[in-house]
Chain A
Amino acid sequence: MTRLGLMALPVAFFAVFFAYPVAAIVARGLKVDGAWQLGRIGDVLAQSDIRHVLWFTTWQALASTALTLLIALPGAYVFARFDFPGRHVLRAVVTVPFVLPTVVVGTAFLALVGRGGLLDDLWGVRLDTTVWAILLAHVFFNYAVVVRTVGGLWAQLDPRQEEAARMLGASRFRAWRKVTLPALGPAVAAAALMVFLFTFTSFGVVQILGGPTFSTLEVEIYRQTSEVFDLSTAAVLTIVQFVAVGAILAVHAWTVRRRESALRLVDPSVTARRPRGAGQWALLAGVLGSVLVLLVLPLAVLVQRSLDTADFGYYRALTHDDGGTFLVPPIAAIGNSLEYAVAATAIAVVIGGLAAAALTRRDAGRLVRGFDALLMLPLGVSAVTVGFGFLISLDKPPVDLRSSWILVPLAQALVGVPFVVRTMLPVLRAVDGRLREAAAVLGASPWRVWREVDLPLVRRALLIAAGFAFAVSLGEFGATVFIARPDNPTLPVAVARLLSRPGDLNYGQAMALSTILMVVCAVALLVLERLRTDRTGEF
Chain B
Amino acid sequence: MPQNMPQNMPQNTPQNTPPSEPPSEPQNRPLLSLEGATVRFGGRPVLDAVDLAVVEHEIVCVLGPSGSGKSTLLRAVAGLQPLESGRVLLDSRDQSGVPAHKRGVGLMFQDHQLFPQRDVAGNVAFGLRMHGASRQQQDARVGELLDLVGMPGAARRAVAGLSGGEQQRVALARALAPRPRLLMLDEPLGQLDRSLRERLVVELRELFGVLGTTVLAVTHDQGEAFALADRVVVMRDGRIAQSGTPLEVWQHPADEFVARFLGFDNVVGATIAGEAADTPWGKLPVPEDAPQGTRTLLVRPAGVRLLPADEGLRCTVAARTFKGTHVAVQLQPEDAPRLDAACALREAPEVGSVVGVDFDAAEIVVLGDA
Contact = CB atoms under 8 A, between A and B. Distances in A.
Nearest to B107: A441
Contacts of B115: 435, 438-439, 452-453
User: Is chain A's interface secondary structure helix, strand, loop, or mixed overall?
Assistant: helix
Interface string B124-137: 00110011000000
A49 to B, nearest CB: 55
B131 A441 contact: no
Most buried by B among A438, A442, A445, A448: A442
Interface in B82-111: 99-107, 109, 111
B126 A432 contact: no
- Chain A interface: which size bin? 10 to 19
A435 B105 CA distance: 16
A452 B113 contact: no
B174 A442 contact: yes
Interface string B172-186: 001100100000000
Given A445-B101, A453-B115, A456-B117, A438 B107 contact: yes
Contact of A441 (B80, B111, B116, B117): B80
B342 interface: no
B186 to A, nearest CB: 10
Interface string A418-442: 0000000000000010110111111
B78 interface: yes
Interface residues of B, number: 25
Interface in B173-214: 174-175, 178
A1 to B, nearest CB: 12
A440 B101 contact: yes
B130 A444 contact: yes
A441 B174 contact: no
A247 interface: no
Nearest to B100: A440
B80 A443 contact: no
A437 to B, nearest CB: 5
Nearest to A453: B115
Nearest to A449: B101
A442 B99 CA distance: 12
Nearest to A457: B117
A452 B130 CA distance: 10
A456 B122 CA distance: 13
Contact of B126 (A442, A445, A457): A442
A457 B115 CA distance: 10
Given A434-B109, A444-B101, A439 B117 contact: no
A260 to B, nearest CB: 20
B100 A441 contact: yes
Interface in B285-300: none
B99 A452 contact: no
27 contacts: A432-B113, A434-B111, A435-B113, A437-B100, A437-B107, A437-B113, A438-B109, A438-B115, A439-B130, A440-B79, A440-B99, A440-B100, A441-B78, A441-B106, A441-B107, A442-B130, A442-B174, A443-B101, A443-B102, A443-B130, A443-B178, A444-B130, A445-B99, A445-B101, A452-B115, A452-B126, A456-B117
Given A435-B113, A443-B104, 14 more contacts: A434-B109, A437-B78, A437-B107, A440-B80, A441-B103, A441-B105, A442-B130, A442-B174, A442-B175, A442-B178, A443-B102, A443-B178, A444-B130, A448-B101
